[in-house]
A and B are shown apart, each in its own frame.
Chain A
Amino acid sequence: MMRRTWVIKAILVVSFLALTILGGLGLYEQRRFDIPIVAGPGVTKVVKLSDYSQGLKGTIADTLVFILEGKEAGGKALIMANTHANEPEGMLAALIMIENAVVDRGTLIIIPQFNHSASRNTKPGDGYPLYFEIETEWGKKTFRMGNRDASPLDQWPDPDVYIHYPEKQLLSFIDARNTNRTWPGRPNGLLMERVTFAAMEIMRREKVDIAVDIHGAETMFPVTNCIVAPEKSLRIATMAALTVKAKEGFDSHVEPSPVGFRGLSHREIGDHAETLPFLLEAPIPFLDQPTGPKTEKFLLDGKDPFLLSLARKKKLFVPYDESGWPVEKRVGQHCSLTMEILRQHAKRVPDRAVEVRGVPRYADIVKNGVGSYFHDPAKAERSKIYLN
């Protein structure tokens, strides 16, 4: 009897270890998987975010910052993507810019994986794919699929309530790991506060004129398919939205940034620097809750029968039909809107213009696919390849 109990206990322990190792191995590998980024013809410098905030040195939150300087002096623009690493269209748009943009005037600063810890995390319980692949002319390019928040492995323990710095507004505990709630950050605060502080330092030290934070949002969430802008950015945002509608044929409305909701990039950047902030949202059906399985296919094509049924009942905030909301549309919108924001800013402040060429627009990306703008790392010069 005594021996039988021991056998059962041993089987249970072995089973537990086997499940932990088998389950954990995939997560372990995803956390260590690097995405090769081919620096395009416009990249003149690559630095680390920790160069602007010592508190990030040696941490997993440190990330690459690509700088594209023009021959002529002008203004400066900062593009941030993967603030929420489960909204990958922003990162794809940022990588297209890094691999293809050439700056004629001014400077473009791009952080493609802003919440680097979150990009090496996944959402427990939701069955997210750990990777997704984009078809290119030279094969498939693999990307990590991350989570909205930084990994608890990197910032722990969570507080009972996150008290925003410096406004002291009480936010959800989980927002302590959300780099769109920890703005403007502080040099010695929580790890995610150090990330946003470093970005604020870029904007203050480099005198950045425009900051674009690229996101995706649920189709059932009212703040989707839009540009969120505070009062000081409203004119450029509105003109950009009206222009892309008239000239490129897609909708993106303007949502005013609420004054009383703290910690968001579109609020705090403008309040703590001279920079004009803009937050872009493209609809990503994958993030909605009443959907089928969260597969890689669904992430990319945005097609779901449950959302289609809800669309027929007018429960969504964007038009939705059998064509879904594919990644090409989402990435195309982000590229076009970012370039249009830069153009509108240049019209208003010509001596601080940032003039960029080589970035495909909405129609190009919808027609050619996202993958046609990525270069083959196997054929690129080694010095041009950066792993992030």
Chain B
Amino acid sequence: MKRFNTAVILMAFFFLFVFFAGSAQAAVPKAKLPVLTTSAGQSNDVTTVNIVLEEAGIGYDYCDVPDVDILKAGVGLADKESGPGFHAEVYTDLAKFPKGTAYKTIIFAIGASLKGMGASGLTVDTEEARLKRTIDYCKQNKVYIIAIHVGGTALRGAPGSDNERMIDAVAPLADYLIVTKESNKDGRFTKIAKAKNTPLTEVDYALDLVEIMKKVFE
């Protein structure tokens, strides 16, 4: 009988552990609109993030190289128009968030592309400096920072490489990290999340971002 009770208690503990472990993975932090999407490193992954948001039915503004002036201008991106080396798109619901409304959230899609940076007239150094300025502004103005890495091993590299420098510039300062399992194969994002106590969601595939984004902005 005693042995039976011990087994029941152990099983109960096991199920409680599985339940809470599962809910910790499922617990998705909440963020507020309006949201600005941008790139850290000018890879094409920011397009994936934008399309994921559209698929999730979330309006957003997008600028590939926003600096402090753009962030200060808020929704509508100061009516700036796209041109060579600069891209701006406004899909925020302007009836809910009129032009000039301060952004509550910013999403960085991390991934370095020399072609992308070159097209925007940036180098790895100037991109890092721009990211530092924008993140400093976000921290000072309580803009929630979400960092996403869905490029897998193709957008990872040796320590000090362009991709790792972009991760260093954004991930440790983010309020929430979302990465694919392939991107986090070496556990780099898990280490950052643990060191900074940042919530981390690891997804199997970039497609899973659609449901995550619905939950984050619900």
Q: Which residues of A contact B (CB under 8 A)?
A: 234-235, 238-239, 242-243, 245-247, 253-254, 256
Smallest CB–CB gap between A241 and chain B, Å?
9
Closest 7 pairs between A and B when the two form their complex, measured CB to CB: A246-B205, A246-B207, A242-B207, A238-B51, A242-B206, A235-B51, A245-B205
Question: B44: which A residues are within 8 A, CB to CB?
Answer: 253-254, 256
Given contacts A235-B54, A239-B55, whether A254 and B207 have CB atoms under 8 Å apart is no
Smallest CB–CB gap between B47 and chain A, Å?
6
Question: A242: which B residues are within 8 A, CB to CB?
Answer: 48, 52, 205-207
Task: Give bound CA distance, A227 to B47, whole Å.
Answer: 14
CB contacts under 8 Å to A, within B34-92, are: 44, 47-48, 51-52, 54-55
Question: A238: which B residues are within 8 A, CB to CB?
Answer: 47-48, 51
B208 at the interface (CB under 8 A from A): yes
Smallest CB–CB gap between A348 and chain B, Å?
10
Question: A245: which B residues are within 8 A, CB to CB?
Answer: 205-207
Task: Give bound CA distance, A238 to B50, whole Å.
Answer: 10
Interface centre among A239, A242, A254, A256 (most CB of B within 10 A): A242
Would you list 12 pairs from A and B whose C-beta atoms are within 8 A, ordered by A residue? A234-B47, A234-B51, A238-B47, A238-B48, A242-B206, A245-B205, A245-B207, A246-B204, A246-B205, A246-B206, A246-B207, A256-B44
Smallest CB–CB gap between B46 and chain A, Å?
11
Smallest CB–CB gap between B44 and chain A, Å?
7
Chain A, interface SS category? helix
Question: B47: which A residues are within 8 A, CB to CB?
Answer: 234, 238, 254, 256
Question: B204: which A residues are within 8 A, CB to CB?
Answer: 246
| Contact indicator per residue, chain B 176-218, by CB within 8 Å of chain A (1) or not (0) | 0000000000000000000000000000111110000000000
Question: A254: which B residues are within 8 A, CB to CB?
Answer: 44, 47-48
Task: Give bound CA distance, A253 to B153, whole Å.
Answer: 13
Question: B206: which A residues are within 8 A, CB to CB?
Answer: 242, 245-246
Question: A246: which B residues are within 8 A, CB to CB?
Answer: 204-208
* Seed contacts A238-B47, A247-B207; 16 additional CB < 8 Å A-B pairs: A234-B47, A235-B51, A238-B51, A239-B55, A242-B48, A242-B52, A242-B205, A243-B207, A245-B205, A245-B206, A246-B206, A246-B207, A246-B208, A253-B44, A254-B44, A256-B47
Task: Give bound CA distance, A239 to B55, whole Å.
Answer: 9
Question: A234: which B residues are within 8 A, CB to CB?
Answer: 47, 51
Task: Give bound CA distance, A253 to B205, whole Å.
Answer: 13
Interface centre among B48, B51, B52, B54 (most CB of A within 10 A): B51
Smallest CB–CB gap between B111 and chain A, Å?
12
Task: Give bound CA distance, A254 to B52, whole Å.
Answer: 14
Question: B52: which A residues are within 8 A, CB to CB?
Answer: 242
Question: A239: which B residues are within 8 A, CB to CB?
Answer: 51, 55
Closest to B204 in A: A246
Task: Give bound CA distance, A239 to B205, whole Å.
Answer: 12
Question: A235: which B residues are within 8 A, CB to CB?
Answer: 51, 54
Smallest CB–CB gap between A220 and chain B, Å?
16
Smallest CB–CB gap between B85 and chain A, Å?
14
Task: Give bound CA distance, A235 to B44, whole Å.
Answer: 13
